[in-house]
């Protein structure tokens, strides 16, 4: 098996995939994926062969392959079932499924609108197949007995669509002609007529803030990269979307793949989105519409790779560990060159900015938060799904549209966000509205909990998430996320007693993580838990 089966995928990639970028190191992840796709796991022999072909020291390559959750270093059975037990799937019975069948657990798969969800992988024949789909106890049992393969999930159209989602569900996402027939490529034509400088001016005038979580002014970032002397300049489209409760970029890529360009980094758990984006690029290239290099990179199961500099390292074939900033990506980014990292939703907004002009875009929403925003509503609501609403819309309106009842709490912004209580839901959904109450829009995740939800379990799941996903590079985060989980477990387990010492300890750890962590993961790892402990009634009465 080793000789033929495992060398082929390596040779295919090194022979045809290589580009003139000094070393071949950046081919490491694609090669590892190719090996695993072909034979189901990455054996020592295959890794050593890949190292020889790519000139990478084996110890370093081992450090990379073992960093990513999706790579298997041991042979696996012909079928693996992983059930998502993250916040939303937990609310929908994931724990009961995990307790009843022999399934592994996985963090959020981005299918929260159809929770509970599972990832199923089947190897053999000869390529590996992957499906992410809704799961039930009955289906899980059938899959494990080899008697079923989950259907592709029913892809719901967005629940409410504005400018941004107007093409979703309207054209055939696998056909360039269909995209054209619905006005596709008009923005590309217009951008070419206008020229780069004018496009950047419109983006600046639109006052668009990044939709990836940090809300950085997009125009300012584009101006900085345009001014940078070093060449080439890279555009990295961040489609790693792993924030629990977030699935907007998946829907955008699945429903409107022709609208997205760049060095596109898509999480491994979005196979359909990747397929559609690759197909869109191939068709656009064949039709002579694209004259820049667009490369799709598959993530490998690491939440931290959504952090922009960790993502660059991952593309370069390294462990997905964030870099210290400065220098900032606009000066020293991917392969050490000026780089523009943008979220999928941010980039899709640019189409309308180019077509309608920056000032027209800025006339929507609020003064400080222009345009519309995508919200991923899930949990205890009658109509979970993706909603596009104007910035400034009260959270109450969104919850009413989604059919939320008996709300106990809302987790806004995912695990890195914070909990809101029913008295806060008149808050406007805008960057300034959330800031005013110490919350954040984050990735647009809106997870709703009704009175039946066990909030202790939710807080513990969030603490486990950060402990698992910390890359371990810096001490405050590596140790802090572990201690945070331990203390929380102790506090929530005790029925009575004085918890003041633990409350103080948690608060000290939170401060240390905020002040001394290298990246946003450590800096935000205590937010949801701190807000949960103060806002929710989890400590009283055991």
Ligand X SMILES: Cc1cc2nc3c(=O)[nH]c(=O)nc-3n(C[C@H](O)[C@H](O)[C@H](O)COP(=O)(O)O)c2cc1C
Where along the sequence are the contacts to ligand SF4 (CB under 6 A)? 304, 322, 470-474, 477-478, 517-519, 521-522
Biggest CA–CA distance in the chain, Å, is 71
**Token duo for residue 238:** 């961040």
Cβ at position 465, least distance to ligand SF4 in Å: 12
CB 310 within 8 A of CB 235: no
Cβ at position 242, least distance to ligand SF4 in Å: 13
Which of 33, 211, 319, 461 binds ligand X (CB under 6 A)? It is 211
Buried b / exposed e across 241-268, counting CB within 10 Å, b at 16+? bbbbbbbbbbbbbbbbbbbbbbbbbbbb
CB 536 within 8 A of CB 410: no
Task: Report if residue 241 touches ligand X, rule: CB under 6 A.
Answer: yes
Neighbours of 3 (CB within 10 A): 9
Bridging pattern class, strands 418-420 and 407-412: antiparallel
Selection from ligand X, ligand SF4, none that 238 binds (CB < 5 to 8 A by kind) is ligand X
CB 90 within 8 A of CB 458: yes
Q: Is 470 left (phi over 0), alpha (psi -120 to 50) or beta?
A: beta
Give residue number: closest CB to ligand SF4: 522
Cβ at position 112, least distance to ligand X in Å: 14
Positive or negative, the CA dihedral 55, 338, 216, 253 is negative
Cβ at position 19, least distance to ligand SF4 in Å: 28
Task: Report if residue 519 touches ligand X, rule: CB under 6 A.
Answer: yes
DSSP single-letter state for residue 442:
T
Neighbours of 2 (CB within 10 A): 12
Binding mask 467-506 for ligand X (x = CB under 6 A): ----------------------------------------
The smaller minimum CB distance to ligand SF4, of residues 471 and 491, is found at: 471
Give the integer Cα–Cα distance in Å for 466 and 260: 30
Cβ at position 45, least distance to ligand X in Å: 34
Binding mask 370-409 for ligand X (x = CB under 6 A): ----------------------------------------
Selection from ligand SF4, ligand X, none that 522 binds (CB < 5 to 8 A by kind) is ligand SF4
- For 533, the 3-state DSSP assignment is helix
Q: Which stretch binds ligand X (CB under 6 A): 29-37, 188-196, 274-282, 519-527?
A: 519-527
Selection from ligand X, ligand SF4, none that 46 binds (CB < 5 to 8 A by kind) is none
**Token duo for residue 149:** 């393969």
Task: Report if residue 308 touches ligand X, rule: CB under 6 A.
Answer: yes
Q: Which residues bind ligand X (CB under 6 A)?
A: 210-214, 216, 218, 238, 240-243, 304, 306-308, 341-343, 346, 519-521
């Amino acid at each position: 098996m080793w000789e033929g089966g495992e060398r082929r995928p390596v040779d295919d990639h090194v022979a045809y995939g290589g580009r003139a970028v000094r070393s071949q190191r950046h081919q490491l992840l694609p090669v590892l994926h190719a090996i695993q796709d072909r034979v189901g796991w990455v054996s020592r022999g295959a890794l050593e062969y890949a190292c020889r072909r790519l000139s990478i020291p084996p110890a370093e390559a081992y450090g990379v392959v073992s960093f990513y959750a999706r790579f298997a270093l041991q042979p696996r059975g012909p079928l693996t079932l992983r059930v998502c037990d993250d916040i939303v799937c937990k609310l929908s019975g994931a724990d009961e499924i995990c307790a009843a069948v022999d399934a592994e657990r996985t963090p959020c798969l981005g299918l929260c609108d159809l929770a509970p969800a599972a990832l199923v992988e089947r190897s053999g024949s000869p390529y590996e197949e992957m499906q992410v789909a809704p799961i039930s106890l009955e289906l899980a049992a059938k899959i494990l007995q080899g008697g079923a393969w989950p259907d592709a999930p029913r892809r719901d159209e967005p629940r409410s669509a504005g400018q941004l989602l107007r093409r979703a569900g309207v054209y055939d996402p696998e056909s360039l002609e269909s995209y054209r027939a619905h006005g596709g490529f008009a923005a590309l034509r217009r951008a070419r007529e206008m020229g780069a400088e004018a496009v950047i001016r419109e983006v600046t005038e639109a006052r668009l803030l990044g939709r990836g979580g940090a809300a950085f002014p997009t125009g300012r970032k584009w101006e900085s990269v345009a001014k940078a002397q070093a060449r080439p300049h890279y555009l990295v489209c961040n489609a790693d979307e792993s924030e629990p409760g977030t699935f907007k970029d998946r829907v955008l890529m699945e429903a409107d793949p022709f609208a997205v360009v760049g060095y596109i980094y898509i999480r491994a758990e979005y196979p359909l989105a990747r397929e559609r984006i690759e197909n869109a690029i191939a068709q656009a290239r064949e039709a002579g519409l694209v004259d820049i290099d667009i490369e799709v990179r598959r993530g490998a199961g690491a939440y931290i790779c959504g952090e922009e500099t960790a993502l660059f390292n991952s593309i370069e074939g390294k462990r997905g560990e964030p870099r210290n900033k400065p220098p900032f990506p606009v000066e020293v980014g991917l392969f050490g060159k000026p780089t523009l990292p943008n979220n999928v939703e941010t980039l899709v907004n640019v189409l309308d900015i180019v077509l309608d002009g920056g000032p027209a875009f800025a006339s929507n929403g609020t003064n400080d938060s222009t345009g519309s925003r995508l919200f991923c509503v899930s949990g205890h609501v009658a109509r979970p799904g993706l909603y596009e609403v104007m910035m400034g819309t009260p959270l109450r309106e969104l919850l009413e549209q989604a059919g939320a009842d008996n709300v106990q709490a809302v987790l806004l912004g995912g695990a890195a966000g914070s909990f809101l209580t029913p008295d806060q839901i008149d808050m406007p959904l805008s960057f300034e509205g959330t800031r005013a109450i110490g919350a954040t829009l984050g990735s647009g995740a809106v997870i709703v909990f009704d009175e039946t939800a066990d909030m202790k379990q939710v807080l513990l799941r969030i603490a486990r998430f950060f402990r698992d996903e910390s890359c371990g590079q810096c001490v405050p985060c590596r140790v802090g996320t572990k201690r945070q989980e331990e203390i929380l477990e102790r506090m929530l387990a005790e029925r009575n007693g004085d918890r003041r010492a633990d409350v103080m300890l948690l608060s000290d750890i939170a401060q240390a993580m905020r002040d001394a962590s290298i990246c946003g993961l450590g800096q935000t790892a205590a937010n949801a838990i701190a807000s949960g402990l103060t806002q929710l009634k989890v400590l009283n009465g055991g």
